[in-house]
């Protein structure tokens, strides 16, 4: 069977009439949604890190402006520690922003090459239910048309 799929895929390449397998769109949409979910978690974590640094900065500012704080050394975070945490938080947010720009560009290129929507889709829950419904162990099976696509990727 694999040999037949390989021959069919090679024929499609020679004829330059290759078209994406039917199931590819849903698998790419699922991949996009899973990536997006991970991105959102990372973004929320970076935002919490920045808020925590801001809170520490505010606490330090209040302690230093109080009468007692002017004479007694603080037991909390030092200015250097607060400054370092702010820089780290901003760096994390910048990384998340750059990753988003790269992801958006990459997925738009993939959409253009495939000729179908990936970013705008029915959502993670729907895609998972459609793609994993045929499996009893929670892992989906490759749609029939994906074999030729995998073969093409392997040999090129």
Read off the pLDDT band of 62 (50, 70, 90).
confident
Mean pLDDT of 59-73: 69
Ranked by mean pLDDT, which of 30-34, 75-79, 82-86 comes out on top? 30-34
Mean pLDDT of 50-75: 75
Question: In the chain, what percentage of residues exceed pLDDT 70?
Answer: 76
pLDDT greater than 70 at residue 57: yes
User: Considering only CA atoms, which of 19, 35, 18 is closest in space to residue 121?
Assistant: 35
User: Considering only CA atoms, which of 142, 155, 121 is closest in space to residue 33?
Assistant: 121
pLDDT of residue 82: 86
Mean of pLDDT over the chain: 81
Instruction: Tell me if 32 sits within 8 A of 106, measured CB to CB.
Output: no
The pTM for the full model equals 0.66
Residue-wise pLDDT for 133-149, tens only, equals 855 454 445 544 443 44
> What 3-state class would DSSP assign to 131?
helix
Domain ranges (residues) in the chain: 24-145
Topology of the domain covering 24-145: Helix Hairpins (1.10.287)
């Amino acid at each position: 069977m694999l040999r037949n799929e390989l021959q069919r895929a090679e024929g499609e390449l020679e004829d330059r009439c290759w078209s994406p397998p039917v199931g590819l769109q849903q698998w790419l949409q699922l991949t996009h949604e899973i990536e997006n979910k991970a991105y959102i978690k990372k973004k929320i974590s970076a935002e919490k890190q920045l808020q925590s640094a801001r809170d520490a900065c505010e606490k330090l500012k209040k302690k230093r402006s109080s009468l007692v704080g002017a004479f007694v050394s603080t037991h909390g975070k030092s200015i250097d520690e607060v400054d370092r945490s702010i820089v780290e938080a901003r760096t994390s947010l910048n990384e998340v922003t750059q990753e988003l720009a790269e992801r958006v560009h990459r997925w738009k290129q993939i959409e253009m090459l495939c000729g179908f929507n990936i970013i705008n889709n029915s959502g993670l829950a729907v895609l998972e239910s459609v793609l994993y419904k045929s499996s009893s162990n929670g892992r989906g099976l490759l749609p029939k048309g994906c074999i030729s696509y995998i073969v093409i990727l392997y040999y090129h």
